[in-house]
């Protein structure tokens, strides 16, 4: 621990010109050296798993101990989370991953997001007088990509049979698991908004109500579905009995997703893109996701002495929020499926572009409206986890239904809800993110990775809609500029600005709202209001964080997990 704290302090000294930044943080404890951490980092030598559910973390460790790879453990944990945390994940949703391949010494990305069904056309919605795609029900359902993502990852990096990886989730689905307070709370919220859709109550409310804190919840329907996938492979889901049952259910209930859409699906291996922030190479996946927003944000903020501003200061929060507003205008205009539009990614994440955008930030006034950069386009709730194994492989994986439990559409007796990602298409034919059959919608879920001097350093992520790129940037800033360790960087109070322009076509109104967690002082809040910011409450959505850091010198992994949810990091 002492070695790691010293190493991080060295990074801060380099970044801040020698100032002892950490000791200037309000509440800094000179004895423990930690101002914001709720608990110690977890440290282990052979492997590390950090997920949002302790039972899923234990499953991941069991897989690692049985000789499985980091990817094997991630698949097993993800399957379990679809059962234990269906309020944010499941096989009806999409998946993205970044993998450090220790054998080939390369960083690779997987985009396992699904596309719009062939029947999902602009004319379909226009004929029905709709100006936006509904958030719930049969219409926003796009092809679920998670299962194909598992098999793509497994074919390339798996060691154990898929039957072994899905066995723990199948067993828990049959025998039951005790529901935590957090998940019981989100179960109830989701049931109130989507509980009336066919199949939902039979699957998730077998006793007339959603599972309560401490109750054993069983999902034998999901157990049967996972067993079929384990036995017959990915084609069982996309071309076999499961696909046929999804088709029949969607046809019966007025949906647009069909067997042919499932059968045509495939994931895509992609190359992660990066920027350097004060010596750390931060990697994200290119669009259709929003990962490059974190890179744009870091590029703009690198031009400021963030360390000198101090963590709990109006100057820091104001600068961060104003940079975020600029980036999200670009996000709303340019972040789309690159199979349909030639997105200028290299320009968007360049230092020169950041320099030009930074000039638009006023130090004395909050912007109420902004425009995206003038670049040319050529047509053309969520869970996060990270796992590392004894061979040095690391996986950063994020998976989601969207809007918690998704569309509410729960096909037949399959035991899962279909996602509602197609809601994020625009219905404006002049918008780059306009709905088209076969197109992938704008996506919010993003994994992240950090390299330093060409070597793997950290696998991390922070789920939660538009909070994600803001959270990614804050984690990096907390560690580099404010000297926090891996756990403290996630525990520290967060900033969440909402109300920016959106990829669906809505625009920022009156500067949006700045939500600050309780770790920011009233003095800071008052100063922000004087600058023209509207301050929201401290109980908004601030995401869920997991991270693993590799200390090559000591030969150990550091793990950290989210205190706002049920997260657990554990190693062996």
Mean pLDDT of 146-161: 98
Residue spans of alpha helices (H) in 195-275: 200-204, 220-232, 235-238, 241-252, 259-263
What does the CA dihedral 275, 277, 283, 285 come to, rounded to 10 degrees? Answer: -60
- Does the pLDDT of residue 46 top 90, yes or no? yes
**Which of 511, 513, 466, 475 has the alpha carbon at shortest distance from 493?**
475
For residues 333 and 371, the answer to whether their CB atoms sit within 8 Å is no
For residues 146 and 57, the answer to whether their CB atoms sit within 8 Å is no
pLDDT score of 465: 85
Split at pLDDT 50, 70, 90, the class of 373 is low
Q: What is the number of residues in the chain?
A: 572
pTM: 0.92
Dihedrals phi, psi of 557, to nearest 5 degrees: -95, 140
- Does the pLDDT of residue 19 top 90, yes or no? no
Mean pLDDT of 209-215: 95
Dihedrals phi, psi of 96, to nearest 5 degrees: -135, 150
Q: How far apart are CA 166 and CA 74, in angstroms?
A: 11
DSSP 539: S
- Does the pLDDT of residue 7 top 70, yes or no? no
* Span 438-496, pLDDT tens digits: 999 999 999 999 999 999 999 999 988 889 999 999 999 999 999 999 999 999 999 99
Q: How far apart are CA 468 and CA 474, in angstroms?
A: 10
- Does the pLDDT of residue 9 top 60, yes or no? no
Q: 203 to each of 206, 208, 221, 414, 532, how far by Cα in Å?
A: 6, 11, 8, 9, 48
User: Which of the two residues, 235 and 37, has the higher pLDDT score?
Assistant: 235
Q: Which residues contact 506 (CB under 8 A, 6 or more apart)?
A: none
**Which of 505, 525, 526, 527 has the alpha carbon at shortest distance from 516?**
525
Q: How far apart are CA 537 and CA 518, in angstroms?
A: 9
* Span 498-540, pLDDT tens digits: 999 888 888 888 899 999 999 999 999 999 999 999 999 887 6
Tell me the sheet residues that pair with 109.
98, 270
Describe the chain by its helix, strand, coil percentages, rounded to 5: 35, 20, 45
Mean pLDDT of 130-142: 96
Residue spans of alpha helices (H) in 425-534: 467-480, 486-491, 522-530
- Does the pLDDT of residue 374 top 80, yes or no? no
Q: Which residues contact 41 (CB under 8 A, 6 or more apart)?
A: 1, 4, 485, 486, 487, 558, 559, 560, 569
Structure tokens at 509: 């109104």
* Span 325-340, pLDDT tens digits: 999 999 999 999 999 9
State what percent of residues in the chain have pLDDT above 90. 84
Split at pLDDT 50, 70, 90, the class of 303 is very high
User: Which of the two residues, 19 and 121, has the higher pLDDT score?
Assistant: 121
* Span 90-103, pLDDT tens digits: 999 999 999 999 99
Cα torsion 206, 416, 51, 513: sign: negative
Q: 402 to each of 334, 452, 468, 536, how far by Cα in Å?
A: 21, 33, 13, 23
- Residue 546 has a CB neighbour count (10 Å cut-off) of 31
3-state secondary structure 396-417: EEEEECCCCCCCCCCCCCCCCC
- ∠ at Cα 511 (506, 513), nearest 5°? 95
pLDDT score of 163: 98
Q: Which residues contact 59 (CB under 8 A, 6 or more apart)?
A: 73, 76, 77, 80, 168, 169
pLDDT score of 382: 78
- Does the pLDDT of residue 239 top 60, yes or no? yes
Pairing status of strand 448-452 against strand 280-284: antiparallel
Q: What per-residue string of b and e applies to 407-433 under the rule 16 or more CB within 10 Å gives b? A: bbbbbbebbbbbbbbbbbbbbeeebbb
DSSP 235: H
Catalytic residue positions? 382
Which residue is it, tokens 């960083």? 107
pLDDT averaged over the chain? 91
Split at pLDDT 50, 70, 90, the class of 24 is very low
């Amino acid at each position: 621990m002492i070695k790691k704290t010293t190493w991080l302090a060295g990074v801060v000294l380099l970044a801040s010109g020698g100032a002892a930044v950490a000791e200037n943080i309000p509440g800094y404890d000179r004895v423990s050296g930690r101002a914001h951490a709720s608990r110690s980092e977890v440290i282990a030598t052979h492997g590390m798993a950090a997920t949002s559910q302790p039972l899923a973390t234990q499953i991941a460790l069991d897989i690692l101990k049985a000789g499985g790879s980091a990817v094997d453990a991630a698949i097993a944990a993800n399957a379990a989370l679809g059962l234990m945390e269906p309020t944010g994940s499941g096989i009806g949703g999409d998946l993205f991953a970044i993998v450090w391949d220790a054998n080939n010494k390369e960083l690779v990305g997987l985009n396992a997001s699904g596309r719009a069904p062939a029947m999902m056309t602009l004319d379909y919605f226009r004929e029905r007088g709709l100006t936006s795609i509904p958030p719930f029900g049969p219409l926003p359902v796009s092809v679920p990509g998670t299962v194909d993502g598992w098999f793509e990852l497994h074919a390339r990096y798996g060691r154990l049979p898929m039957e072994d990886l899905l066995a723990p989730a199948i067993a828990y689905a049959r025998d039951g698991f005790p529901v935590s307070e957090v998940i019981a709370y989100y179960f109830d919220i989701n049931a109130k908004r989507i509980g009336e859709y066919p199949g939902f109550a039979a699957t998730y409310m077998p006793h007339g109500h959603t599972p309560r804190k401490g109750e054993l919840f069983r999902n034998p329907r999901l157990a049967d579905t996972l067993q079929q996938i384990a036995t017959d492979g990915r084609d069982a889901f996309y071309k076999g009995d499961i696909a046929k049952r999804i088709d029949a259910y969607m046809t019966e209930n007025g949906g647009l997703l069909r067997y042919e859409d499932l059968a045509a699906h495939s994931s895509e291996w992609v190359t992660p893109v990066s920027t350097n922030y004060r010596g750390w190479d931060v990697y994200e996946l290119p669009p259709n996701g929003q990962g490059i927003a974190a890179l744009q944000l870091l590029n703009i903020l690198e031009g400021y002495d963030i360390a000198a501003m101090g963590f709990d200061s109006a100057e820091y929060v104001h600068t961060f929020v104003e940079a975020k507003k600029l980036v999200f205008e670009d996000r709303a205009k340019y972040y789309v499926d690159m199979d349909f539009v030639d997105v200028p990614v290299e320009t968007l994440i360049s230092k020169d572009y950041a320099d030009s955008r930074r000039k638009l930030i006023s130090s004395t006034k909050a912007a109420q409206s902004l425009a995206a950069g003038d670049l040319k386009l050529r047509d053309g709730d969520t869970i996060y986890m990270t796992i590392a194994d004894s061979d040095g492989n690391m996986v950063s994986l994020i998976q989601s239904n969207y809007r918690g439990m998704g569309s509410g559409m729960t096909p037949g007796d399959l035991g899962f809800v279909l996602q509602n990602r197609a809601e994020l298409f625009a219905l404006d034919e002049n918008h780059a993110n306009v709905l088209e059959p076969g197109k992938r919608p704008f996506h919010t879920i993003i994994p992240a990775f950090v390299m330093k001097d060409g070597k793997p350093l950290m696998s991390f992520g922070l789920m939660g809609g538009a909070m994600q790129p803001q959270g990614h940037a804050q984690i990096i800033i907390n560690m580099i500029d404010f000297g926090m360790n891996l756990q403290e960087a996630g525990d520290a109070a967060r900033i969440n600005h909402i109300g920016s322009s959106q990829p669906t076509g809505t625009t920022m109104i009156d500067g949006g709202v700045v939500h600050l967690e309780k770790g920011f002082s009233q003095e800071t809040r008052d100063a922000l209001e004087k600058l023209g910011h509207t301050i929201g409450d401290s109980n908004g959505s601030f995401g869920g964080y997991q991270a693993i850091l590799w200390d090559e010198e000591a030969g150990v992994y550091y793990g950290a997990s989210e205190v706002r949810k049920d997260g657990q990091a554990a190693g062996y």
